[in-house]
Amino acid sequence: MTSNVAAMTTSASVPAEPEDAIGGEHSITDRLVEANGKYAAAFADPGMDARPVQRVAVVACMDARLDLHAALGLRLGDCHTIRNAGGVVTDDVIRSLTISQRALGTRSVALIHHTGCGLESLTEEFRHDLEMEVGQRPAWAVEAFRDVDQDVRQSMQRVRTSPFLVHTDDVRGFVFDVTTGLLREIDPA
Ligand SMILES: [Zn+2]
């Protein structure tokens, strides 16, 4: 399917940003590169293996308020971190988990969703709106949800029933409270 080039340009629904915030010589990306220079100057090669020390893969939402390593007491080299919008177990997350387990030795999976997730305010209508705007419907599901507990259960189920994974006995799911920093475990039943 060909796309309408005119319709692919910026949309009125995308919030406008001040020019200096997204480009120019003091853009955020420039600041990231500058920070990396300082990081590398103090960096000593830890001589680590690619296999995670704690043999765990953490699947979590990309939410900016969720500092996974700090929240879970994880250190560099401890885990695989797989993040996307919602911490949804998509085919691509299964791809990463399969490689994590079969090539890099992880055995446990922790799923972390959170309170106040952006996906709670979306519906599958989002795909329809995109199609109306750009002329093609995305192949992916939005994976919006109303009940975060149920969404965590569905994610655990997707991991446990994947034919590609070899370790599905230690799969646990949690909701992280962005106001208290506490995890609440979700009963899979
Ligand atoms: Zn989220």
Question: 118 CA to middle of ligand 1, Å?
Answer: 5
CATH of the domain at 123: 3.40.1050.10
Closest by CA to 32, choosing from 64, 46, 75, 40, is 40
Do 142 and 124 lie in one domain? The reply is: yes
Question: 43 CA to middle of ligand 1, Å?
Answer: 31
Decide which of 25, 47, 69 is a domain's last residue. Answer: 47
Tokens 């308020």 belong to 65
Do 129 and 59 lie in one domain? The reply is: yes
Residue 186, strand partner residues: 173
Question: Is residue 10 one of the residues assigned to a domain?
Answer: no
Total tally of structural domains belonging to the chain? 2
- One digit per residue, the tens of pLDDT, for the chain of length 189 reads 333 333 333 344 555 555 555 555 689 999 999 999 999 999 999 999 999 999 999 999 999 999 999 999 999 999 999 999 999 999 999 999 999 999 999 999 999 999 999 999 888 889 999 999 999 999 999 999 889 999 999 999 999 999 999 999 999 999 999 999 999 999 987
Question: 57 CA to middle of ligand 1, Å?
Answer: 18
User: Tokens at residue 180, please?
Assistant: 């208290």
Do 67 and 147 lie in one domain? The reply is: yes
Do 92 and 150 lie in one domain? The reply is: yes
Cβ 82 vs Cβ 101: under 8 Å: no
Question: Is residue 2 one of the residues assigned to a domain?
Answer: no
Do 66 and 118 lie in one domain? The reply is: yes
Question: 184 CA to middle of ligand 1, Å?
Answer: 15
Other Cβ atoms within 10 Å of 185 Cβ, number: 11
> Are β-strands 171-176 and 108-114 bridged in parallel, bridged antiparallel, or unpaired?
parallel
Question: Is residue 12 one of the residues assigned to a domain?
Answer: no
Question: 116 CA to middle of ligand 1, Å?
Answer: 7
Question: 83 CA to middle of ligand 1, Å?
Answer: 10
Do 70 and 147 lie in one domain? The reply is: yes
Question: 60 CA to middle of ligand 1, Å?
Answer: 8
Question: Is residue 71 one of the residues assigned to a domain?
Answer: yes
Do 85 and 141 lie in one domain? The reply is: yes
Boundaries of domain holding 69: 48-186
Question: 4 CA to middle of ligand 1, Å?
Answer: 31
Do 79 and 147 lie in one domain? The reply is: yes
Q: Report pTM.
A: 0.85
